[in-house]
Amino acid sequence: MPRPLRVAAAQVGRVDRSEPRASVLARLITLLEEADKQAVKLVVFPETTFTTFFPRYLITDDVELNSFFENEDAVTGIVDAPNVKPFFDKAAQLGIDVVVGYAEKTPDGVPYNTASYVSGRRVVSKYRKVHLPGAFEPFNDHPDTTNQLEKRYFKPGDLGFQAFRAPSLRHEVKSPIIGMLICNDRRWAEGWRCYGLQGAEIMCIGYNTVAWAPELWGADPNMDRDFARQDALFHHKLVCQAHAYTNAMFCITAARCGWDDGKFELITGSMVVDPEGHIIAENKTDGDELVVADIDLDACLQGKARTFAFEKHRRPEHYGVIVERAGVVEPPEVI
């Protein structure tokens, strides 16, 4: 019996450092209304959906830095955070489930790079980004430099990789099993596998990925901008397609993209990938855009029951080193 579902990635274009929350919210609500017109049931929004991607800047003013975070309600979580409540009210009113990324400040003041799955104003599950890229210190504090200061502004996620059911999307007796990752996480096989081992059928991923930052990358500062952008997009698609295939799940990726402040370029790549690794829907623009696809969750069965039937083929007795240490130990040189 098929288990059909209409899903979408909500791509969000240019957001400047100074763009007010109200302006961003109005754009996000327009995307929700478009999703409603198309009868979409689940929409994935980007990482730090409500603001520009502020970890690219060295921000030393605490007032400005705090302005990029959402203060969660101690009981209801993100849905009553003052700056963004209208967005969740609208999604609930339209009956659309959403995955939304944002900079979280806990009631105790701890900062995380977070995504929540929200259905009818209820936070069904929360994920905090585990693989924070970049460094604590800026490599160059010139105001026009692209930094990557997530390690400075966020704590690494402390919730692990918890797959969960989305009962609002239930077919007959079975609710879809969902996982969430944020940006750089998608390059790390471990998170995907942890979700795969919980039977996840849809991976939801928001991201901000720089299109050209040779100084940040330690690359030739004169490297070709078109090559850099295409290569960043190639890597994004490569890892999402491969990890979706090898874990037999769908994957929805939502980009923050465009030229923030008119000078910091982010890649696009919003798409829906099927469990065989094929891209079945993809963005056409580099601005606000809803990328819609009809999927059948039973398409996961071929991979889950045969090629990647984990219980038949995996050999955990040989995987110990994956959890025994973080870094590399090389074999000794042979004299």
Q: Which of 41, 105, 126, 129 is catalytic?
A: 129
DSSP state letters, 137-168: S-S---TT-----HHHH-PPPSS----EE-GG
By CB under 8 A, which span of 69-77, 102-110, 197-205, 284-292 interacts with a copy of itself? 197-205
Annotated catalytic, 240?
no
For residue 308, state whether it binds a copy of itself (rule: CB under 8 A): yes
The 3-state DSSP class for residue 29 equals helix
For residue 221, state whether it binds a copy of itself (rule: CB under 8 A): no
Closer of 143 and 332 to a copy of itself (Cβ): 332
For residue 175, state whether it binds a copy of itself (rule: CB under 8 A): yes
- Residue from 54, 88, 192, 264 that binds a copy of itself (CB under 8 A)? 192
Contact set for a copy of itself, span 315-334 (CB under 8 A): 315-316, 318-334
Buried b (16+ CB within 10 A) or exposed e, 296-307: ebbbbeebbeee
- Residue from 153, 161, 250, 264 that binds a copy of itself (CB under 8 A)? 161
Residue 192 CB, nearest approach to a copy of itself (Å): 8
Contact set for a copy of itself, span 129-158 (CB under 8 A): 130-133, 156-157
Written as six digits, the tokens of 66 are 């705090």
Annotated catalytic, 183?
yes
Q: Which of 41, 47, 70, 105 is catalytic?
A: 47
Closer of 74 and 234 to a copy of itself (Cβ): 234
Closer of 63 and 173 to a copy of itself (Cβ): 173
User: Rg (Cα) of the chain, in Å, rounded?
Assistant: 20
Contact set for a copy of itself, span 111-130 (CB under 8 A): 130
Contact set for a copy of itself, span 237-276 (CB under 8 A): 238-239, 241-243, 245-246, 276
For residue 93, state whether it binds a copy of itself (rule: CB under 8 A): no
Residues classed as catalytic: 47, 129, 183
